[in-house]
Structure formats: structure tokens, C-alpha cells
Amino acid sequence: MLSVAEAHSVVLNHLLVTPAEPIPLPQAAGRVLREPLTADRDLPPFNRVSMDGIAIQYAAFETGQRQFRVAGTQFAGQPAQTLTNETACLEVMTGAMLPTGTDTVIRYEDLQITDGLAEIRIDAVQAGQNVHHRATDRKQNEELVPIGTRLGPPEMAVAASVGKATILVSKRPKIALISTGDELVDVSETPEPYQIRRSNTYLLQTVLQAAGAETTLLHLPDDADTMETALKTVLQEYDALVLSGGVSAGKADFVPNVMERLGVRQRFHQVAQRPGKPLWFGASDEGKVVFGLPGNPVSTFLCAYRYLLPWLKASLGLPVLPPSVARLARSVSFPPQLTYFLPVRLSVSPDGIGLAAPLPGSGSADYANLLQCDGFMELPPERAEFSEGEAFPVYTFR
């Protein structure tokens, strides 16, 4: 039985080889970048006016001149005009090119313009003010967004600004999400007293699709031969399989043996943790990856966020970031020598400290408890008592 850290390491040593694909920019939101985005020209590409007002030569102001005859107007989207009379000015709009022959912008709020004569009403004027100078943000060919970045709103705007009509991203891996068990019926059916509706795969689909996977929901009965026949085909068609149930020590838990017969070698079975101790993980020589998650809902939830999600992100080229940290809001006891993933509700104290309040629950089948839960706090196995105010990692899902 592996420790949590050991199991995490094994999982991350079996990443998918995810190819890159070019797609139209409007379809790229949320995808993972596989090429650097670089500035195709200086940013800004010209001396840009940053306030509505007038553009002047500062030297004229410096000599004491305060009234300037308006010689024209420079709008955004027009080529730069030229101020030929250094004692005059040009009206300028935000975003326009700074007119040639000017170097300073006085905003309208500091002016009075009467009959085409602009009078500067303040003395505190700095040379070059209200001008966003060329290349002050980035220079041409400078990297703006590195490979391995998820494309959110700022990155999409940058991609558009540098002309990336088509962009190279990680291809979405195809993952089959497979529920197992004769006690499970479809969500549209009315279960008998001895049955329950399938729900774990909907949880997994929500987690993995949001992270960038293409998923399909399947279901298999508790029959080893049927399972083997179906999974043989599924292994050929998908990059990875995530099974829910069938990995414990019961007489109907066939997943480990079926996977072995299909050429998926077990990398570990059981992790010293609660919930989720029966977690199974395997990989084939062809690079296919299989997760066998315990069927209890809270165990599935925990394993999805602690192992499956970091694995998917890393496979897509994203960095694996450390979890956040919070302080226990009250003391907790957990005598077993297992890593304990404690469901918690998060809040922030008035002085800005993250707090984690333990939630009561009725075990790893208690889905309803997760509605109030923001994440799992990871408590180490070498201790039984955890005091209020101590800080530990928290894996969040809100």
C-alpha cells in the first residue's frame, strides 16, 4: 500500500502524450497553449494619446505660453497629423497617434477652449505627460504568453492583438468514464429500493470537461466476461479510462483482474488514505492509462481532485501547482495511521487568514455533505490529534 505522496508521484509518471492541434481563435478559450505568443510589433506600436485633450510642444509651455490656437483634430484610427506651428496645438482623442511635432498632452479638464483658442488653466504640466510611448509595454518579438498557459480572457485578448487567427493548443484527450455495478440505474429511471441512480460519472465528467478533456459516459454490469469484452474495445478507442467501482475486495469487484487480462499493468492498488483507500491505477505498454476509483461517492470525489485532475492538467501541459493552505477552525482527532482528507468549509478571518471548518458527515457515501464542502484538508498519517489554528494543505473544488 502506497502513501499519498508515492501514489501521486506514480500517477504523474504516467502522463498522456497529448498532441498539439491548430484551431480557430474563437474556439480556443479554455484550451492549453502549445506555442508561445509573441508581440508581432512594438506595444504600443506608436506613441499613443492616453487622454482626450490637446497635444502641444512642451518647449512652448516651458517658455510661459498658456494659450494655443487649435490647428485641427487628431482622431484614433487616423495616420499621425503634423503640427507645423510650434505655438499652436492639435486636439487629440484617446487612442490616437500622437501628432508629429508634439510631445505632451493636456487633458480637456485642465483647459478652456473658446473660439478655437485653448487656454491651459494649470501650471503643473510635465513633459511627455498623458502619452503612452511606443514599446513601453513590450518590444517586437518579445514573448507575451508562454507555452503551457490556459487561455483565459486576457490571453485570448493578447492572441487577437498579435494576429493569431489560428492558434496551436493541446488536443483534448478522449477519456471514457465508466460506472460499474448492478445496483446502478440510469438517471432517467426510477430505482427499485435496492438500486441507486448513477451519479459518480456525472461528477467526473464535470471535473474533467472543465479541465479540458473530451469525455464519454458508459456503464458496465458486474460480470467479468462482459466487462472484459467491452473494455477491450474501449481501450482501443480512448486515451484513458476512469472506472468508478469494482476495485475493492468484494466478490463482484472484477476491475483489477480484467485489466490485467487486457494488458493494463497494475502500478498500485490501495493508498494509505481515507476516504479512497481502494484506489487502483494502471497503464499499458501502449501508453493507455486507467484509473479505478472506489465507488463510494466521497471517495470518487476526493480521488478525482487529488489524483485525476493533476494528472489531466499535467498531460495537457499545465504546471502542477501546490494546493492552498488554511488553518483548522477547530481541533480534529483521527487515530488511524492513514492520511485523512477532511471535508471542510472555507472562510477568511477578519485579518485575512484562511480558515477551514471541519464538516460532519456519515462516511464516504454521503454526497449531500459535499454540498456544503469547499474542499478536502490533507492531514498527515503520523499524527492522531490536529489542533485548532494549525495549517494544512487544502484541495479545493469551488
Annotated domain spans of the chain: 4-18+172-316, 20-43+137-170, 48-132, 325-396
Average pLDDT over residues 322-327: 95
CA angle 188, 191, 193 (to 5 degrees): 170
Most confident of 148-152, 218-222, 223-227, 247-251: 148-152
pLDDT tens readout for residues 223-232: 899 999 999 9
> Can you name the residues that pair with 174 across neighbouring β-strands?
214
Query: Above 60 in pLDDT, residue 243?
Result: yes
* Superfamily for the 20-43+137-170 domain: Molybdopterin biosynthesis moea protein, domain 2 (3.90.105.10)
- Name the residue among 312, 299, 289 with its Cα closest to residue 207: 312
Is the Cβ–Cβ distance between 209 and 255 less than 8 Å?
Answer: no
pLDDT tens digits, residue range 8-29?
999 999 999 999 999 999 999 9
**pLDDT band at 247, cuts 50/70/90?**
confident
Mean pLDDT of the chain: 94
Is pLDDT above 60 for 306?
A: yes
Same CATH topology for 4-18+172-316 and 48-132: the answer is: no
Residue 57 in contact with residue 327, Cβ under 8 Å?
Answer: no
In sign, the C-alpha dihedral spanning 269, 240, 234, 301 is positive
User: DSSP assignment, residue 368?
Assistant: G
* CATH no. of 325-396: 2.40.340.10
Measured CA to CA, the distance from residue 209 to residue 218 in angstroms comes to 15
**181, 245 contact by CB (below 8 A):** yes
Give CATH for domain 48-132.
2.170.190.11
Is residue 78's pLDDT more than 60?
Answer: yes
Mean pLDDT, residues 50-64 taken together: 97
State phi, psi for 262 to the nearest 5 degrees. Answer: -90, 5
Is the pLDDT confidence value at 365 over 60? no
pLDDT digit string, tens, across residues 368-387: 778 889 999 999 999 999 99
- Is residue 364 pLDDT above 80, yes or no? no
Say if domain 4-18+172-316 classifies as CATH 3.40.980.10: yes
What is the 8-class DSSP label of residue 312? H
Q: With a cut of 80, say whether residue 135 has pLDDT above it.
A: yes
Measured CA distances, 369 to 72, 267, 333, 360, 361 (Å): 68, 32, 19, 8, 6
Residue 199: pLDDT over 90: no
Give the mean pLDDT of 79-98: 97
